[in-house]
């Protein structure tokens, strides 16, 4: 039952927001009593915490599986982007904003874990791209990985990219292409162009 509650709560939080969904809403949606929920989660904060870290672990595992397929680093980044978007329901900005505003400690803890994971992934991706000759050999790996991660966070900032001006998917597409065009070799550019052309067909 605990797993079912986590699954349903995660779905509702991502679609409606962490503050918007009450324990009553969740109980009604599942056709169970609030008491049943409280048997597994002492309060809503605990439920939010477990949902966010459960989701983080699922995404982490999915990214590991993608990296294990051995695709070239450019394809790998596109596959990861597609996977994360589908897992986060196109990630509306409202849930993230509500998590940051109403559960700041959970938000900060989660962001720290995300940063560590992204740093490892990005550094590994750049190193492989260099080995394969599809990324430029004079890259400063530390700088590129950090600027990429700050950009991923930046496109989620409503002050710079107000909701309604771009869809989350458009922003991800534009940003990933922007990042890759700055670091690819001519060989890498051909792979990138082929991927972009195939997604526009």
DSSP one-letter string for the chain? -HHHHHHHHHHHHHHH-TTT--HHHHHHHHTS-HHHHHHH-SSHHHHHHHHHHHHHHHHHHHHHHHHHT---HHHHHHHHHHHHHHHTTT--HHHHHHHHHH-HHHHHHHHHHHHHHHHHHHHHHHHHHHHTT-B-TT--HHHHHHHHHHHHHHTT-TTTS-BTTB-HHHHHHHHHHHHHHTTB-HHHHHHHHHHHHHHH-
Residue 188 maps to a domain: yes
Residue 89 maps to a domain: yes
What's the confidence (pLDDT) of residue 149? 94
Residue 174 maps to a domain: yes
What's the confidence (pLDDT) of residue 75? 96
Residue 20 maps to a domain: no
- Read off the pLDDT of each residue in 46-73 and give the average, rounded to a whole number: 93
Burial class for 131, CB neighbours closer than 10 Å (0-12, 13-18, 19+): exposed
Residue 159 maps to a domain: yes
> Domain span at residue 100?
49-200
Residue 132 maps to a domain: yes
Does the pLDDT at position 8 exceed 70? yes
What's the confidence (pLDDT) of residue 46? 96
- The string of pLDDT tens digits covering residues 136-183 is 999 999 999 999 999 998 988 888 988 788 888 888 999 999 999 999
The label of the residue with tokens 């849930």 reads: 95
Residue 19 maps to a domain: no
What's the confidence (pLDDT) of residue 153? 86
- The string of pLDDT tens digits covering residues 69-121 is 989 999 999 999 888 888 776 555 567 788 889 999 999 999 899 899 999 99
* Average confidence score pLDDT of the chain: 91
Q: Domains in the chain: how many in total?
A: 1
Contact of 180 with 154, CB cutoff 8 Å: no
CATH of the domain at 180: 1.10.357.10
Residue 22 maps to a domain: no
Does the pLDDT at position 201 exceed 70? no
């Amino acid at each position: 039952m605990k797993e079912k509650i986590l699954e349903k709560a995660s779905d509702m939080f991502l679609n409606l927001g962490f503050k918007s969904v009450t324990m009553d809403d969740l109980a009604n949606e599942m056709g169970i009593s609030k008491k049943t929920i409280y048997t597994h989660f002492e309060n809503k904060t605990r439920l939010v915490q477990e949902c966010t870290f459960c989701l983080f672990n699922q995404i982490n595992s999915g990214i590991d599986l993608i990296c294990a397929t051995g695709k070239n680093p450019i394809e790998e980044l596109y596959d990861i982007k597609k996977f994360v978007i589908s897992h986060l329901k196109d990630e509306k900005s409202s849930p993230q904003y509500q998590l940051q505003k109403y559960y700041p400690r959970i938000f900060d803890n989660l962001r720290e874990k995300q940063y560590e994971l992204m740093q490892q992934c990005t550094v590994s991706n750049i190193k492989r791209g260099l080995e394969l000759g599809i990324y430029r050999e004079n890259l400063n790996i530390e700088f590129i990985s950090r600027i990429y991660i700050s950009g991923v966070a930046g496109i989620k900032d409503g002050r710079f990219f107000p909701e309604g001006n771009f869809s989350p998917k458009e922003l991800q597409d534009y940003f990933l292409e922007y990042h890759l065009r700055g670091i690819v070799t001519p060989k890498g550019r051909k792979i990138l162009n082929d991927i972009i052309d195939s997604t526009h067909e």
